[in-house]
């Protein structure tokens, strides 16, 4: 891929080749090497800015490589305990025994 830089001495954009330039600003091209199909509109784009315009016009948001983590709400321990107490009150001895057996089997592993 060819890289272009702005050369202050020449006052224009030149192709970057080896050491033939002093460090200057880099330009990011708006063109895409391959046409890109927009997933919402179904149009093909060869320009990043046009792709972004269609995305915004469709009411969508362009995201990068952020981690898309779901945030879990913290457990209300008191509510959990009260629900478990209510369930234990209505549980039969055989149901409680089965739960205890399952926990014992898991503990042995």
* pLDDT tens, residue order, the chain (109 aa): 677 778 888 888 888 776 655 566 677 888 888 888 999 999 999 999 999 999 999 999 888 777 777 778 888 889 888 888 888 888 888 888 888 888 888 878 7
Please state the domain extents for the chain: 4-57, 77-108
pLDDT of residue 59: 92
- φ and ψ at residue 104, rounded to 5 degrees: -65, -40
List, in order, residues 6 or more apart from 33 with CB less than 8 Å away: 1
Q: What pTM value is reported for the model?
A: 0.39
pLDDT of residue 19: 60
């Amino acid at each position: 891929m060819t890289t272009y830089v702005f050369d202050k001495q020449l006052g224009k954009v030149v192709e970057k080749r080896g050491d033939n330039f002093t460090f200057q600003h880099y330009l990011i091209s708006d063109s895409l090497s391959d046409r890109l199909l927009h997933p919402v509109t179904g149009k093909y784009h060869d320009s990043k800015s046009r792709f972004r315009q269609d995305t915004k016009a469709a009411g969508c948001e362009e995201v990068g490589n952020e981690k898309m983590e779901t945030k879990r709400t913290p457990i209300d321990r008191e509510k959990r305990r009260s629900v478990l107490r209510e369930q234990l009150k209505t549980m039969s001895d055989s149901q409680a025994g089965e739960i205890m057996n399952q926990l014992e089997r898991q503990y042995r592993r």
